[in-house]
Chain A
Amino acid sequence: MTSEEERESLIAAVTTAHRERGVRGEIKSHRAFHDLDDAGRAEAFDETLRARKIEAATDARGLSTTARAVLARIRGG
């Protein structure tokens, strides 16, 4: 992969709503976030906003993947 493709893949990785849990149950940051520079992190933020709007617009209840992940934690413990 070129460095630009690697950067795009890191940004794409950060935009997922999946986050691991730590040993005390806390929600951990995505490891790809730490490999991005400031500009990449800002871009990932904007891309995530756009992705969540698309997800919410196409969900019958208007829920994004973030909202569904939070609800799954609430319902599943």
Chain B
Amino acid sequence: MIDLDVHLAAIRSGDADAFARWLAGAERPVRESLRSLAVHVDTESVLQEALLRAWQFASRVEPDGKPNGLLRYAVRIARNVAISELRKSRAKAVDPETLDASADPSPSAPPDPILRKAIDDCRSALPQKPAMALAARIESGGADADEVLAERLGMRPNTFLQNFTRARKMLAECLEGKGVAL
């Protein structure tokens, strides 16, 4: 099993590059741990808040002899942030057993070069405007709102979203045709 705690000492010393390496393996399992709450809270905002707190409070993680201590800590933070959001929105009660389902998360594997090649091939086959919308989202890295990206591309916000949706569907179909399941 991959143990992301190999990055923990550097993260605790304030090394953001080490945190980036940890994030590459930790983001998906923390997100997956929020699946049962996805209809109640915006998991993207909960996840980002949890990952920021994991960085801020990494020094609180004490080794317990088991791997992925920081990842398990991040899952607990995400759960607590989500519960706080649930309370604010007064959403219907969620079974605590469901929330604890991902108590022992596994890091995701490093990116697969074959998958990367398949994605690159499928992206290059996209029509121009959907390809532009998809590229704008990826290149922005979450820094800009869609309205800003749309304006840069000379599109109305709804047109941008429609082009992005087309890109997503065509990419999924293309990858499926190559036998790639995401």
With A26-B49, A66-B44, A74-B19 already in contact, the answer to whether A13 and B146 are too (CB < 8 A) is: yes
B43–A72 touching, CB < 8 Å: no
Known: A17-B48, A42-B39. 18 other contacts (CB 8 A): A8-B162, A16-B142, A18-B145, A19-B42, A48-B44, A50-B168, A53-B28, A55-B138, A58-B138, A61-B20, A65-B141, A66-B31, A66-B51, A67-B20, A67-B24, A68-B143, A69-B142, A74-B16
Q: Is the CB of A41 within 8 A of B39?
A: yes
Q: Given A47-B168, A70-B51, A62–B42 Cβ distance below 8 Å? A: no
Interchain CB contact under 8 A, B52 and A70: yes
Count of interface residues, chain B, beta-carbon cutoff 8 Å: 53
Per-residue contact bits, chain A 29-63, to B (CB 8 Å; 1 contact, 0 not): 11001000010011011011111111111110111
Interface mask (A1-26 → B, CB under 8 Å = 1, otherwise 0)? 10001001101111111111000001
- In whole angstroms, what is the CA distance A31 to B182 when docked? 27
Question: How distant is A23 from chain B, measured CB to nearest CB, in Å?
Answer: 15
Contact status A66-B142, CB under 8 Å? yes
A64 and B27 alpha carbons, distance in the complex (Å): 9
How many residues on the A side are at the interface (Cβ–Cβ under 8 A)? 53
Whether A75 contacts B162 by the Cβ 8 Å rule is no
B137 at the binding interface (Cβ < 8 Å): yes
Give complex CA distance A38, B40 in Å: 8
Tell me if B23 and A67 are in contact (CB < 8 A): yes
Chain B nearest CB from A19 CB (Å) reads 5
Is A58 a contact partner of B158 (Cβ separation < 8 A)?
no
Known contacts A9-B158, A55-B138, A58-B120; A38 and B39 CB within 8 A of each other: yes
Bound form: Cα–Cα A50–B28 in Å: 10
Bound together, the chains give a CA A44 to CA B182 distance in angstroms of 15
Residues of chain A contacted by B162 (CB below 8 angstroms): 5, 8-9, 12
Most buried by B among A18, A28, A47, A64: A18
Report chain B residues within 8 Å CB of A28.
45
Distance of A31 from chain B, by nearest CB (Å): 10
Chain A residues, Cβ within 8 Å of B132: none
Q: Does the CB pair A57–B27 fall under 8 Å? A: no
Q: How far is the CB of A59 from chain B (nearest CB, A)?
A: 8
